Structure 1
Amino acid sequence: MMTARMDATAQRCLTLTRGPHRLRVGPAAGGRILSWTSDLPDGPQDWLVPIQAQEWPAHEWPKGGLFPLVPFSNRIRNARMNWGGQMIRIHPLTGQAHALHGQAQRMVWDVLDATDHRAVLGTRLPAGEDGWPWAWSLRQTIHLSADGVLDVELALTNEDTQPMPAGLGLHPYFTADAVHAFASKDWAHEQELALFPRPNRQTRWQRTDSTWTSFLSGWTGRADITWSSGPGLTLQARGPLDHLVLHCNAGRYLCVEPATHVCDAVNLAASGIQGTGLRTLAPGGTLSVGMTLSIRT
């Protein structure tokens, strides 16, 4: 269900705890993980930029935590989608030209199951809502282990009678300083809209005071995320997450976003560009992906 405001008040949130690790989840705040903290020998470590806000307009989310990108990752240029020979108009975010990050992160989720260390959430978009012509449902499973492994799994099902373009991704905001990853392609882009792929030779990206973005494909599915001191994280993707978005905003955070397709994949594919990762999900079909974040000492 789409809503005008997100609710992250304490009574609407879940807290998962396992050993020295704590996780806050906001089902009524777009299904987000709001914070992830570990008590280390040198003190508490926030792996993700924690979201402290208790409510906010759905289109102006705090830049923190971790949320699902469904049914597409990143941007669709001018909120217009070239699909099946037709131009489909999707609702852009308020004040923006492009459709951004999909509808799931602006929806209220149901709690399907919850324990002290595991939560299963679900949500559903009716056909036509937010301008998206197809009905879909989504299941998110979040699991926290005692040894410091956070596992997130997404399963998107096409509940419509027609095939639909489909994509999945995960959008964490890390407090980290750098990321190391291998990918064969880097996409030229303008104003954070991908244009075409080219060979990639870079393997390390640093959080800096400037703002930058990289769109990668042919990614191996592993990224090592590091801090200036102390433990780091190993990100490991499951399923067809072979694209990766890296983003730094004026030094405030470092995003490392696994995705099934590149930014604006539907329009790039329609123009003949290869390697976008765009998928077609048949009626009743399900697309599933997963990601683990493991503390590395």
Structure 2
Amino acid sequence: MMPDHMDANPQQCLTLTQGPHRLRVGPAAGGRILDWISELPGGPRDWLVPIQAQAWPAHEWPKGGLFPLSPFSNRIRNARLHWADREIRIQPLHGQAHALHGQAQRMAWDVLDATASQATLSTRLLAGEDGWPWAWSLQQTIRLSADGQLDIELALRNDDTQPMPAGLGLHPYFTASSVHTLAGKDWAHDQELALFPRPNRQTRWQRSDHTWTTFLSGWPGQADIIWSDGPGLTLQARGPLDHLVLHCNAGRYLCVEPATHVCDAVNLAAAGIPGTGLQTLAPGETLTVGMTLSIRP
């Protein structure tokens, strides 16, 4: 069983520092980046909503930081996978009907290597934990450069003897005011569960006082993250991160989440909906993705 509590105690965190740029990682807190700060000419900038909590129940994650999504992104309807002509029940998010964001966000991670500018962590799920039938392992490498560039790479390996439905993504909570990108498709959704793709014409999304979610696909793997004043960020995805989730919660943050598949992809694919991005990993196969965030004047 996974631990009921995640640890974000500063004494248990890794700190990466390069010049005026600093970030903290909580290995025992789901391998999450807890904060990322740059000292800019106009003053300090929290690029991410910082996490102040030192410990919390796993099902009450504070909304902030940046964490990996594995082995799936976003929701699985009613926590049931329709896969290979069978229905598989997995653990839903506490207090809700659906599974959300995968198990990696609630797992303790081992530190394989750490320097002043880079950390490599790993975690492993045994077959059957949280109802997920397949064993897998995940490695995460976080790099911070002298110019403030943040790079994250994820590698998910199927450690099971059977093929596994798989997905990866990254979930940052930005303090930004808007995001600009191009995308060919916008997915209709009902209560944040994707239904089907349709043409998209919008290119800019604004953080606002109301809560909204957008599922995009067919984007070029690049987005501009914009603040109301001062520098912004350029997000560059690599690997099959062909989908993008945008989310704003009552104006508190702006999430820009590259992912390999759309929300509830495994069930949509089983229903014959095309373009879900669902991956299938053969035994021993690895899925690798990455994201770079670069400071833009």
Same-fold status (TM-score > 0.5): yes
How many residues were matched structurally?
297
> Are 2:201 and 1:198 equivalent residues in the alignment?
no
Q: What displacement does 1:126 show?
A: 0.2
Cross-structure match for 1:181: 181
C-alpha deviations, 1:170-210, integer Å up to 9, x for none? 00000000000111000000000000000000000000000
For residue 212 of structure 1, what is the amino acid of its counterpart? W
Aligned-partner residue type, residue 179 of structure 1: V
In the alignment, residue 140 of structure 1 is paired with which amino acid?
A: Q
1:271 paired residue number: 271
Aligned residue number for residue 252 of structure 1: 252
CA shift digits 1:50-76 (9 cap, x unpaired) = 000000111110100000000000000
Residue 94 (structure 1) shift = 1.3
Deviation at 1:148, TM superposition (A): 1.1
Q: Distance in 2 between matches of 1:247 and 1:71?
A: 20
Aligned residues: CA RMSD: 0.6
- Show the counterpart of 2:115: 115
Map of 2:78 onto structure 1: 78
How far apart are 1:37 and its partner, in Å?
0.1
3-state SS of paired residue (2:187): strand
Asked whether 1:160 is paired with 2:160, we answer yes
2:188 is the alignment partner of 1:170: no
Secondary structure at 1:269's aligned position in 2? helix
Structure 1 stretches lacking a partner, 5+ long: none
Matches within 5 A, 1:207-286: 207-286=207-286
**Distance between the aligned counterparts of 1:213 and 1:93, measured in 2?**
18
1:47 matched to 2:28? The reply is no
Distance across 2 between alignment mates of 1:127 and 1:80? 16
Letter in 2 for 1:217: S
In the other structure, the counterpart of 1:150 is: 150
Displacement over 4 Å in runs of 4+: none
Structure 2: which 5+ runs fail to align? none
The answer to whether the aligner puts 1:68 opposite 2:88 as a matched pair is no
Separation in structure 1 between the aligned mates of residue 133 and residue 250 of structure 2, nearest angstrom: 36
Normalised to the residue count of structure 2, the TM-score between the two structures is 0.99
Residue type at the aligned position of 2:172:
P
Show the counterpart of 1:124.
124
Aligned to 2:27: 27
Question: CA–CA distance in 2 between the matches of 1:12 and 1:87?
Answer: 39
Kindly provide the amino acid, as one letter, of the partner of residue 166 in structure 2: A
Which range moved further: 5-14 or 99-108? Answer: 5-14
Question: TM-score normalised to the size of structure 1?
Answer: 0.99
Percent identity between matched residues is 82
Letter in 2 for 1:177: S
Q: CA deviation at 1:32?
A: 0.1
